[in-house]
Structure 1
Amino acid sequence: MDLTPYVDNLRQELAVAAEAGGDDARALAERLTAPLESAARLTLLNALSAAMGEVTRELAPGSVDVRLRGLDPEFVVTAPPAPEPFREVREQAEPLAAPMPPPPPPADADDGTMARINFRLPAHLKARAESAAAAEGLSVNAWLVRAVSVALDGGGRTSTPGRGKESGGRGFTGWVR
C-alpha cells in the first residue's frame, strides 16, 4: 500500500491552511512539511496496524498482518483453514485404536540447539492452550513443542472413540457449522 498520496494530501492541506495566515505562516508550514512527513507515515502505520489487529480478532483463526517494506506497508492475509469435505466412512470397522500423543521428547534426545520464534495467536486460543498445558502439568512452551511435534510427526489428527471409521456403522466425517 503506497502511503505517498495520503502524506502528499496532508502536505497540501497544511499549505492551504497556512495561506490563510500570511507569508510567515506559509514559510513556517514549508519548513515543517519535511519533518512532518515521517511523523505522518508513522501515525498512518500505527492506525493501519491497530485496524488489522481488529480485523484479525474477527477473522480468528485467520489473520491479517501489516509488514513494512521500505516506506510502505504490506498486508499479509492468512485465511482460516478450509473445512474438510465430507466423505463416506467404510462399512468395515478397523480395530479401535485411539492414538496417544507422544510424550514430550526427552531433554537429551535433541542436539541441544534451540530456535526462538515469536508466535502470535488470538487471545481465546492462548487461553485454551494455557488451560490444556496446565491440565497436563506442562508449561505452555512444552505443550506447544509437543503439539507441533504431534502435528508434524504424528499426522496431527486424533480421533474420538465411537465416531468416524472406528465406530463400525455407516457414518460421515467432517465439520459442520
Structure 2
Amino acid sequence: MDLTPYVDHLRHELAVAANAGGDEARALAERLTAPLESAARLTILNALSAASDEITRELAPGSVDVRLRGLDPEFVVTPAPVPEPETGLPAAPAASAPVVPLGGDGDEGATARINLRLPAHLKARAEEAAGQEGLSVNAWLVRAVSRALESGEPARPTTPARGVKHGQSYTGWVR
C-alpha cells in the first residue's frame, strides 16, 4: 500500500490552510512539510496496525497482519481454515497440525505484548517456517504457542529436576 498519495494530500491541505494566513504562514507551512512527512506516515501506519488488530479479533482464528516494506505497509491476510465436508469416510491425516483457536478467559479479543529473545539460528528457522505458511512471524509464533498449550503434553525439562531418581541413587538437596 503506497502511503505517498495520502501524505501528499495532507501536504496539500496544509498548504491550502497556510494560504489563508498570508506569506509568513505559507513559508512556515513549507518549512514544516518535510519533517511532518515521517510523522504523518507513522500516524497512518499506527492507524492501519490498530485496524488490522480489530479485524483480526473479528476473523479469529484467521488474521490480518501489517508488514512494513521500505516506507510502505502491506497487508497479509491469513484466512481461517475451512472445515472439509463430511463424506462419511475416515479423514485423511493432515499434512500439518491443525490451527488451534486461542482460548480466552472471558476477554478473547485482548492481546498482550512480550519480548521474546531467540538465538539467531532459531529466529531464522521461525522466519522460514512462517514464510512457508504465508504468515508473519508473530502469527506463526501465536499459532505454535497455541498448539503447544492445547496439545496437553507437559514441556520436557532439558535437565533433570531435583530429587529425581536415577537407577539406585537419588540426586537433589537434603535438609
Which TM class, normalised by the smaller chain length?
0.5 to 0.7
How far is the alpha carbon of 1:4 from its aligned partner? 1.1
2:155 to 138, 150, 158: 138
What is the alpha-carbon root mean square deviation over aligned residues? 3.1
Which position in structure 1 is the counterpart of 2:50?
50
Which position in structure 2 is the counterpart of 1:63?
63
Q: TM-score, normalised by structure 2?
A: 0.56
How far is the alpha carbon of 1:138 from its aligned partner? 2.8
Q: TM-score, normalised by structure 1?
A: 0.55
Runs of 4+ in 1 over 3 A off after TM superposition: 116-123, 125-130
Q: Give the conservation status (yes or no) of the 8 Å contact 2:7–2:40.
A: yes
Rounded Cα–Cα distance in structure 2 between residues aligned with 1:31 and 1:82: 53
Other structure's SS at 1:84 match: coil
Other structure's SS at 2:83 match: coil
How far is the alpha carbon of 1:12 from its aligned partner? 0.8
**What does residue range 78-157 of structure 1 map to in structure 2 within 5 Å?**
78-89=78-89, 115-116=122-123, 117=126, 118-120=137-139, 130=149, 132=150, 136-138=153-155
Rounded Cα–Cα distance in structure 1 between residues aligned with 2:146 and 2:122: 24
1:28 matched to 2:28: yes
Rounded Cα–Cα distance in structure 2 between residues aligned with 1:19 and 1:32: 14
Q: What percentage of aligned pairs have identical amino acids?
A: 67
1:73 matched to 2:77: no
Which position in structure 1 is the counterpart of 2:8?
8
Distance 1:31 1:119, change over 3 A: closer
Distance 1:69 1:6, change over 3 A: same
Which position in structure 2 is the counterpart of 1:147?
none
Q: Give the conservation status (yes or no) of the 8 Å contact 2:63–2:139.
A: no
Listed one character per residue, the Cα deviations across residues 100-157 of structure 1 (whole Å, up to 9, x for unaligned) are: xxxxxxxxxxxxx96134543798x967964x47x64437xx9xxxxxxxxxxxxxxx
Letter in 2 for 1:36: L
Distance 1:122 1:53, change over 3 A: farther
Letter in 1 for 2:58: E
Unpaired runs of at least 5, structure 1:
91-112, 143-177
Rounded Cα–Cα distance in structure 1 between residues aligned with 2:138 and 2:25: 49
Rounded Cα–Cα distance in structure 1 between residues aligned with 2:40 and 2:27: 20
Distance 1:60 1:122, change over 3 A: farther
Aligned residues: 116
Rounded Cα–Cα distance in structure 2 between residues aligned with 1:34 and 1:114: 40
Q: Give the conservation status (yes or no) of the 8 Å contact 1:56–1:63.
A: yes
Q: Give the conservation status (yes or no) of the 8 Å contact 1:59–1:80.
A: yes
Distance 1:136 1:86, change over 3 A: closer
How far is the alpha carbon of 1:16 from its aligned partner? 1.0
